[in-house]
Structure formats: structure tokens, C-alpha cells
Amino acid sequence: MKIKKIFSDKRDSESRKLVLYLIFPIFIMFVVLLQTINLTVINGKKYETQSENNRIVSRTIYPTRGLIYDTNDKLLVENIASSQLNLVPERSTDTLKKIKAIADLLNLEKSFLLDIYERQIKKPRYPFQPITLAKSLNDEQIALFSVSSEKFKGFSVETGLVRSVVNKKSLAHVLGYMGYSESNDVNKSSNFISGNQIGISGIEKTYHDQLSGKVGTRIEEKDVSGKFVRVLSENNAESGKDLKLSIDLDLQNFLIPFFEGQKGALVALEPKSGLIKALISSPAYDPNIFNSSSSLAEIQSIFSDDEGPLFNRATMGNYPPASTIKPILGLAALDEGIVNWNTIIQDDGEFYVEGDPRPYRGWKEDGHGKVDLEKAIVESSDVYFYSTAYDLTIKRLEPFLNKFGFGAKTNIDAEESNGLVPNEKWKLGYIGEFWFKGDSINLGIGQGYMLSTPIQISQAIAVIANRGEIIKPRLVEEIDQSPTELESLGKINLKDETNWEKIEKSMIEVINAPNGTANNIKDTRYVIAGKTGTAQIKSYEDQEYEDIRENPFFRDHALFVGYAPVPDPELLILVIIENGESGSRVAAPIAKAGFDYYLTKNE
């Protein structure tokens, strides 16, 4: 019995030892089993995707951006092949350090490349989608990179397309430029392509969705070093639509030299259709600097230029319309029964308001004598319109001007300002003062607080040519060969419809009559109806104008607006020359040159 017990105790001891020896291996096997289940079952899809991304890459296929032509099918904007520096961030380490080294190697500006990288890396993008850091690399830069490419894993030089404006400065403000937009601008576009450029201004911005097309995708297989192996699948991109503008490039280029060294704007449009034939803002800039340049210094010089070359004066410049609105004020006075065509006012060069000793002076020191409405428009009598505006009051002036589109955007297919038709509420809110009679008097000659854009004045005067119909101005004539439609914004009905023709006759006499303010542009070949304007930008109540004009920036603006040939006008032209002083001597001859070119070029 004792022997059996001894053997039994020995077996139990050996069994316990065996169990102890087996516990650790069993635990290890259990852990391995759990991890295997985790990798293959629970998170299998996740790790499969990560593995695939090491060799399978989804690449964006950028569509070809639509081309832009003028009304005569002359190419304005094209896409040209360019060698560009690309970066795939997922394949790069020490990226910022490498960008700086590449900038030194290729003689590019570090801050420019870093800015592009930092802006683009924050935006949503597909994995392994490249970022373009620089465009238009030259042969020397390409060769330098090729020699050192092994040092810059993740970077490559590839061929792409860049936007190129054929005529450079000629149509800068019409066409606009491309750039890397901020995220809030990107969200406004339904077709923004991450990593690619977007239209920042002009037609490039307004019609970005139509021009940009739709992206495609290509699934590629690459080896462990990132080199291309094969295409697995492809969804082709859809090219952008071509645009045909209403701009006549020949007319545009003919008129631009008249603005050399001057600030100003020009609008030339067809009154009946609203199609813009020429649109100039001076000074201008070269959009190609933004489209493809890698020079931060060039771009900064444009932004810092005090002359404001990026500012589109034709659609966004706010100017006093001055005497160009006198025909419209005449229509208001007729329609409200303030005057008729036989009403005579004595103009001795000054207008007084009862109880106010301060005179409101006219531009002609001794006045114009006895003046009716026609003579007031022909000779541009300020006193006549002081009187009519005083009688009309702001309560009738404002709504009548609003009918013609003043104080609101024309909705042209470009960026534009609202302008301003002031009233009592506006003055109290913005100036903190009540409306005075003198404010209405100044409004009668397009001065005081009133501001308008060149495109607004053009649209308003076109209403006279169209006998009350308001036509929306437009720059695009066709989209992908489909014509855009003429859009009427309504019709102004006068109590006496014959006043349209009578006002036009007065505007004809501005040019044809010996005493007309624009008689210097009279032409026997065709008839022009127009109006000059001289916009005072600094008050000179207590100072003589000759003292003020010593500072060129305080000199009056020169304006002219007119249409021809009457009675069937084909073209309306508005010209404003900042600080040009005389509408008749400075602005009107530019418009006349435009009429001559456009109306007689086929003779």
C-alpha cells in the first residue's frame, strides 16, 4: 500500500509540472490565434485596402479646359503644354526640406512653392494624387532635376497643360486669370478639381463650371518604388466647353492705345442685343503671370501697384455720372410735369435756394441765358437741371433713376458694383445727417453722393436708344456653339412716348449743333446721339479750380456716352478718363474713333 501511494504521489507531481510547462505555449498560441482572427476577419478589409494602396493608385485625369474665342472666332485663350513640378505627398519624407532644396536647385522662389504646398495639402484630395508646385519649367530646370531626381522621392517633372492668354493685356479684365483659390471660393464652384487651378476673376471665374469640364479617374498599378506598371481601369475625363465672346478683338485692340498712360474705362455694346463689343479697363495686367508663372515677385508687384491694374473699372469703378444723366433727368421732369419742351429758365451761371446765400454755380461762369430743355442738354446747362431737380425732389428723382438701372447691378456676366442712388434713409444711416435740398440739386447734374459704374451708364443710355426697353448686357455670345439669349429686363413707359425721340434729338444736337458740347466730333457720314460729362471729384467752393488742378489726382473726370448711327444704332460707346478734365476734348474723340473704326471699316 505504501509503495502504491508513493508511485501515485510521484505521478501527480509530474502531472502538475507538465501542466505548468504547457501553460505558456498554450497562451502564446491563443494570442496568435486571436491576432490572426483580427487581421483576417475583423479588420481584414482595412488592412487589405492599406496593402492595395501600396501598389494600386487612383489618379485624377484632368480634363482639357475649354477654349475662348472672340465674336469673329479669333482664339483668345488656349491651353499649351508645359513641364511642371509635381509632388505626391504620400511618397515623400522631410517634404518641406526637400521643397526648399528643389527651389535652390531650380532657382525658384522658396516662399512661392511653400505657399502653394501649404494651401493645397489642406484641401481634400485622393490618396497619392499629385500636387503641382510649379509650372512652365524650362529645359535647364528639367535637366537639373533629372540629374538629382533620386534625392527627391515623391517629386517628379511631368507634362501638363497651362492656360495661355494669346493677347496678354488686351482683354485681361474680360478674361480674368487662373489661380489656387481659397477654400471659401472653391465651395462656390460645383466643379472644383482639387489640386488644380480655378478661375479667380473675369470669364474664367464666371464660367468656370462650363470651361472646366469633368474629371476622370485612372486606376494604376505601381511597384514598391512608385514606378508605373500598368493601367487597371480608366474613366475618361470630359473636356470643358468652348466659349465664344461677343468681344470684337479688332475693335478692342484698336481702342486700347488711346488709354496708354491713362486710367479709365470704355464700354462698347450693341444697344439692341446688349452684346459687349469692347470692354477696356486701364491700366491692365498680363493674366499669364498668374496662369503659369512661378515668380512671387511678379505677382506681388501687380497686387501692390497703386494704379490698381487688377481692378475692373468698367464694371466695378464707381464714378459720379455727371452730365451724362441729364437726358434722363430731362425725361423725369417731363414725365412728372415739372417742365415741358417750351419751359424757359434763365441761366446766369448761378442757382440760389431761398434762405441759402450759397450759390450753386454752373460750369459756364456767365451762364447760358434763356434755356429750354433741348438747349439745356445741348449746352449742358447746370442751372437748368439744378432747378428741375430742386422741383422734382429726391422722392421722385430716386425711383426714376432706379428704373434706368442706377443703384443696382446690371447682372452682366462679370464682377460688378451696385453703384449708389442716395436717398434720405441712406444719408441718415451712412452720413448721419438729414437730406438737404442741396443734395437733390447736386443729384440733378449727376454729382453729390451719386455713384455709377460705366456699364450702368451704358445700359441706361441704351434704354433711350431702345425707346424704353432695358436690355441686359452680356459678354458671352455662345457656349459650346449654342447661342446665349437676349434678355429684356423690362420696359419703361413714359406718359408721352414721343419724348424718347425728342430727347434723342437733343442728344443729336449735342454733336451736330454749333453750340453743342461735343460738336468737335460731328461727322457727315453718320449721326451720333450723345452726351458729354465732366465729373467733379473735389469741391472747390472756396478755392479756384486752377489751384486745385495743380494736383492731377484732384482734376475732374472726363466722360462721354453716345450711340450711332441714328436712327438705327449699331453701337453705343461710353468713355471715362480719370482726371481727364474735359468730356468733349478728351473722352468724346476716343468714342468718335471707335465709331469710325466700327461703322466704316468695311467701306
Average pLDDT, whole number, for the chain? 87
pLDDT: which is higher, 316 or 231: 316
User: Nearest-5° angle of CA 143, CA 144, CA 150?
Assistant: 105
Average pLDDT over residues 212-216: 84
Count other Cβ atoms within 10 Å, centred on residue 253: 13
Asked if the model's pLDDT at residue 191 lies above 60, the reply is: no
Domains detected in the chain: 57-244 (3.90.1310.10), 312-600 (3.40.710.10)
Q: Which residues contact 7 (CB under 8 A, 6 or more apart)?
A: none
- The DSSP bridge partners found for residue 199 are 178
Question: Looking at residues 588-602, what average pLDDT do you find?
Answer: 93
**CB 474, CB 494: distance < 8 Å:** no
State which amino acid sits at residue 455.
Answer: I
DSSP 8-class letter at 586: I
Give the pLDDT band (50/70/90) at residue 238. Answer: confident
CA distance 64 to 211: 9
323 is catalytic: yes
Mean pLDDT computed over 342-366 = 91
Strands 68-69 and 243-245: parallel
Residue 15, pLDDT score: 62
Answer whether residue 46 shows pLDDT above 50. Answer: no
Is the alpha carbon torsion for 362, 368, 370, 376 positive or negative? negative
pLDDT of residue 50: 45
In the set 201, 323, 381, 506, the catalytic residue is: 323
- Per-residue cell: 48: 487589405
Mean pLDDT of 567-582: 95
- How deeply is 143 buried, as exposed, middle or buried, from its count of CB atoms within 10 A (0-12, 13-18, 19+)? exposed
Run of H or E including 357? strand 356-361
Non-local (6+) Cβ contacts of 553 within 8 A are: 579
Confidence class for position 231, pLDDT limits 50, 70, 90: confident
Percentage of the chain lying above the pLDDT 70 cut: 83
> Has residue 602 got a pLDDT over 70?
no
Question: Is the pLDDT score of 171 beyond 70?
Answer: yes
Q: How far apart are CA 75 and CA 84, in angstroms?
A: 24
**pTM for the full predicted model:** 0.84
**Residue 126, pLDDT above cutoff 90:** no
Mean pLDDT of 84-92: 88
Confidence tier at 185 by pLDDT (50, 70, 90): very low
**Local confidence band at 52 (pLDDT 50, 70, 90 cut-offs):** very low
Looking at per-residue pLDDT, the higher value among 323 and 550 belongs to 323
Query: 293 phi and psi, to 5 degrees?
Result: -75, 150
Per-residue model confidence (pLDDT) at position 49: 46
Pairing of strands 198-199, 155-165: unpaired
For the segment 237-245, the average pLDDT, to the nearest whole number, is 93
Q: Residue 142's pLDDT band (boundaries 50, 70, 90)?
A: very high
C-alpha distances in angstroms, 200 versus 43, 208, 239?
44, 9, 20
By C-alpha distance, which of 312, 300, 270, 318 is closest to 175? 312
Residue 216 has pLDDT above 70, yes or no: yes
Grouping H, G, I as helix, E, B as strand and the rest as coil, residue 219 is strand
